[in-house]
Chain A
Amino acid sequence: RKEVEQDPGPFNVPEGATVAFNCTYSNSASQSFFWYRQDCRKEPKLLMSVYSSGNEDGRFTAQLNRASQYISLLIRDSKLSDSATYLCVVPGGGGSQGNLIFGKGTKLSVKP
């Protein structure tokens, strides 16, 4: 299994839809996870941190399944402004210990 793996998408959804992304990771010792959002030609920005089973912030919910080694991001009532690439981030293990490993991202496009 790759260190971090995401479906690249694109996910094309209408405004108001609910959309979910999954991310699998290989380092079973990972304790903290993050979802970042990156707009076109911009820097990644922290969306949510996940330290236990999950986290919720408004329309965004992140869930962690340690047994299956995946985290998910659920976006409810999608807005046009949610269009971006969503990066799953996990701590590195083995030779990468000490740094964060960024997934290649899942692209979301919300249409009117």
Chain B
Amino acid sequence: DTAVSQTPKYLVTQMGNDKSIKCEQNLGHDTMYWYKQDSKKFLKIMFSYNNKELIINETVPNRFSPKSPDKAHLNLHINSLELGDSAVYFCASSQGFSMTPQHFGDGTRLSIL
């Protein structure tokens, strides 16, 4: 059983489109995250939700909107995609945050044409 699963694994789309990435975890964790890893391989947090409540919202364009329907799911919607959005997006989960390790999904590779 996959602990943290993301869909889709690959996403190729044109500039200006709107797309969503879904994430689900079956670990029973109460905290979920979205990270962006760009071409320089730097992993940077975007959002964190604890029990469906937004905890961390780093400096991210408001074209990115996370939604957590329940504590096992955290989806990411992106409006008006730009070339600079091309990256690998990782979902992660943990029980609590900061003091506990995070478990990652296998990533969504987003390419903007």
Interface residues of A (CB under 8 A from B): 31-32, 34, 42-46, 49, 85, 87, 91-92, 97-100, 102, 104-105
A29 to chain B, nearest CB (A): 11
Are B41 and A105 interface neighbours, CB within 8 A?
yes
Would A34 and B107 be within 8 Å (CB), given that A99-B45, A104-B41 are in contact? no
Are A102 and B43 interface neighbours, CB within 8 A?
yes
Which among B40, B44, B55, B101 has the greatest number of chain A C-beta atoms within 10 A?
B101
Contacts A32-B99, A97-B98 aside, 9 further interface pairs with beta carbons under 8 A come to A43-B90, A43-B105, A43-B106, A43-B107, A49-B101, A98-B56, A99-B45, A102-B44, A104-B40
* Residue B86 CB within 8 A of the other chain: no
**Number of A-B residue pairs with CB-CB distance less than 8 Å in the complex they form:** 49
Are B104 and A44 interface neighbours, CB within 8 A?
yes
User: How far does the alpha carbon of A49 sit from the alpha carbon of B102 in the complex, in Å?
Assistant: 11
A32 to chain B, nearest CB (A): 5
Residues of B within 8 A of A42 (CB): 106-107
Are A44 and B43 interface neighbours, CB within 8 A?
yes
Residues of B within 8 A of A92 (CB): 98
- Chain A interface helix/strand/loop/mixed: loop
Residues of B within 8 A of A104 (CB): 40-42
Which among A42, A49, A100, A105 has the greatest number of chain B C-beta atoms within 10 A?
A100
Would A98 and B104 be within 8 Å (CB), given that A32-B99, A44-B90, A105-B41 are in contact? no
Choose from B42, B43, B97, B102 the contact partner of A98 (Cβ within 8 Å): B97
User: How far does the alpha carbon of A44 sit from the alpha carbon of B4 in the complex, in Å?
Assistant: 12
Identify 8 residue pairs between A and B in the complex whose beta-carbon atoms are under 8 Å apart, listed by A's number.
A31-B99, A34-B101, A43-B106, A85-B41, A87-B43, A102-B35, A104-B40, A105-B41
